Amino acid sequence: MLNVMLNSRSNHVLTIATGVICGLFMINVIVCQKSPECEREAKKIDIIIEDMYLFGSAQRAFPMNNKDMKEFCKINNDYQLEIKNYSEKCLETLSKRLISLMMYSISRNSGGTCRSKRRTAEFLTNGKCGNAAQRDNRKCWHKWLHELDGIKTITEYKLKVPLSCCTFYKMRSCFARTYDQKRKECTKKSADGLEKLLDVYATETLSFLCGDYRDDSDKCDKIVPKIPKTKNNDKTNSPITILISILNSVPDGSV
């Protein structure tokens, strides 16, 4: 991420997130220490972040009852500790800040949900729809990662951050179409609840990065065709290192 952006636009958000390193965008991990241990842990963190997002997870389901919820909360706490330890040990300051910003909303939301009986009950009502949609949402998720991988290669660096935002909104719309197709399992209330959950997970990062490139803006329509077609990359499970690579490739002060 651009140092200038981090210093000027994220100070307010990061002040809120102080002390919450692991509280939502993989070819090679950008690490401070290129140690074999960090390289191994990076692959694990990649899967952990996909699992924390739940929507497209290949191995973690939405909780359906109180027993599931208890396990969900415990695993989330364990995941947050693993991300924090990895971040402190392996990442540069810039990369650490990006992970902190992206994971803060997830941490805050899941923590509040796990502590509140009312929010737990609301979350559980979305489980049936979330699980029914996971397989198709996983396709939306990996299409997003594939597009981010293409954005990483473009030379018109001023478009890299806006395009990253636009492709997220494309994924969000793809999720919405999945819920609409799963009407047997997805009531309007549960579909709305899952869309709201994704927005909560992504809000800090999007408000920091995207500016005028919002989901209701026509600006995305004009630039999305510029995303290069690249060979599909099935090695990537989450967006973290792709986004780090994208943002580090943009010259300081250019955005």
- Three-state DSSP string of the chain: CCHHHHHHHCHHHHHHCCCCCCCCCCCCCCCCCCCHHHHHHHHHHHHHHHHHHCCCCCCCCCCCCHHHHHHHHHHHHHHHHHHHHHHHHHCCHHHHHHHHHHHHHHHHHHHHHHHCHHHHHHHHCCHHHHHHHHHHHHHHHHHHHHHHHHHCCCCCHHHHHHHHHHHHHHHHHHHHHHHHHCCCCCCHHHHHHHHHHHHHHHHHHHHHHCCCCCCCCCHHHHHHHHCCCCCCCCCCCCCHHHHHHHHHCCCCCCC
Q: Is pLDDT above 90 for 102?
A: no
Structure tokens given for 61 = 């389901």
Provide the residue ranges of all domains of the chain, joining segments of one domain with +: 3-248
Residue 175: band (very low, low, confident or very high) from pLDDT cuts 50, 70, 90: very high
Helix 240-248 crosses helix 93-115 at what angle (to 10 degrees)? 140
Instruction: Specify which of 141-145, 179-183, 240-244 reaches the highest per-range mean pLDDT.
Output: 179-183
How many angstroms separate the CA atoms of 73 and 102, rounded? Answer: 19
Give the integer Cα–Cα distance in Å for 181 and 177. Answer: 6
Least confident of 36-40, 110-114, 153-157, 162-166: 36-40
Q: Mind listing the pLDDT tens digit for each residue in 71-98? A: 999 999 999 899 888 888 887 776 677 7
Could you tell me the end-to-end alpha-carbon distance of the chain, in angstroms, rounded to an integer?
11
Average pLDDT over residues 18-26: 33
- Tell which phi-psi region holds residue 28, choosing left (phi > 0), alpha (psi between -120 and 50) or beta: beta
pLDDT at 25: 36
Question: What integer pLDDT is reported at residue 253 of this predicted model?
Answer: 53
